[in-house]
Amino acid sequence: MSSFDAFINRNDSFGPSEKLEIRRYSKVDEILFDAQKTAYGVRYTQHGFPKIARALKEVIVSAGTYGSPQLLLRSGVGPAEDLAELKIPAVVNLPVGKNLQEHAYLPLALSLDDISSDNVYIQERDLTEGSIAEFLDAGEGVLTGTVSRAGQSFLASSVTLAEGFPYWPDIQFTLISQDFPGELDEKVVRAIKPDRANPNQTVYMYVYLGRPKSLGQVKLNPKNVSGPPLVDFQLLQDERDVQIFLDGIKMALQLFEDTQAYRDVGAKYSESPVKFCEHEVFRSDAYWRCYIHTFVTGGYHPAGTCPMGFAGDANAVVDASLR
């Protein structure tokens, strides 16, 4: 079901009302403020024509992690020093665009001896006319699995333990029982695949930072303020994130090498270092640090550029009533 059917195209009291009008193909360029700094509408462009929509009550900004700060900054809502640099008249000085966070993750690859379809999905083998028919006719078979997210667990690193929050996990494990995950760059897959594996024997564990400490920023591009914003995640800038990854890698290796379940399927982590980190002693902390800095990647969950907080919180952009 689409979001449109779930939330808008409904035949109940939550369904479409005369109050809702959607203007498609419209890009908002600026929020309009009156002299009292009250937002009274937006200026937008539709099919190349500039237009204005006036608000009867309020303007709600929900343009996403990159779009919301971009729109607010263009409209003069943002850090005073950044707006001054961009020569945009400031309406309100707020930390818009700061506090960018991302669930960074690190892929680890291991090989399996038991590559039955219960353990690993291999597209060339498992996506067949028969498996499609089995799924469509009976709702059964290999296609009912969640290969790309086969298992999840949440763990506490030494960082959260030291902070006194043992029951607030900051590591997420995601098991990908797929021999070639689509979201990973092909070069990364080739670099981290265990040396002994043939192309069809690999599964992956993604170690995620559940509560990243590093903070990035979304800014307008001073050379083109109406173009795409500049996004800087600053991944691993906070050393605690590296420590959380180190703990996560060691926990994952323990799982692969010291548990009966993984022994039963002949799981093995690589016996030799990845090419980029050969200069470090294999499996030492220095080696893993190199691995972390080489293979860390964004997990498609950017957030935090317009954070909510109590009135007076210097890091907040909106309060609990979205003001």
Ligand X SMILES: Cc1cc2nc3c(=O)[nH]c(=O)nc-3n(C[C@H](O)[C@H](O)[C@H](O)COP(=O)(O)OP(=O)(O)OC[C@H]3O[C@@H](n4cnc5c(N)ncnc54)[C@H](O)[C@@H]3O)c2cc1C
Residue ranges that bind ligand X, judged by CB under 6 A = 27-28, 62-64, 67, 71, 300-301
Residues 6 or more apart whose CB falls under 8 angstroms from that of 26 comprise 44, 45, 46, 51
Residue 10 or 27 having the CB closest to ligand X: 27
- Tell me how far, at minimum, the Cβ of 71 lies from ligand X, in Å: 5
How much of the chain is helix, strand and coil, in % rounded to 5? 30, 20, 50
d(CA 146, CA 9): 29
Residue 41 or 64 having the CB closest to ligand X: 64
- Tell me how far, at minimum, the Cβ of 25 lies from ligand X, in Å: 10
CA dist 8 → 13, 17, 152 (Å) = 11, 9, 33
Residue 64 or 266 having the CB closest to ligand X: 64
- Tell me how far, at minimum, the Cβ of 319 lies from ligand X, in Å: 18
Residue 62 or 116 having the CB closest to ligand X: 62
d(CA 291, CA 192): 10
- Tell me how far, at minimum, the Cβ of 164 lies from ligand X, in Å: 29
- Tell me how far, at minimum, the Cβ of 46 lies from ligand X, in Å: 10
Cα torsion 250, 152, 296, 274: sign? positive
Q: Which residues pair with 204 in a beta bridge?
A: 109, 176
Token code pair at residue 121: 């999905």
Residue 71 or 274 having the CB closest to ligand X: 71
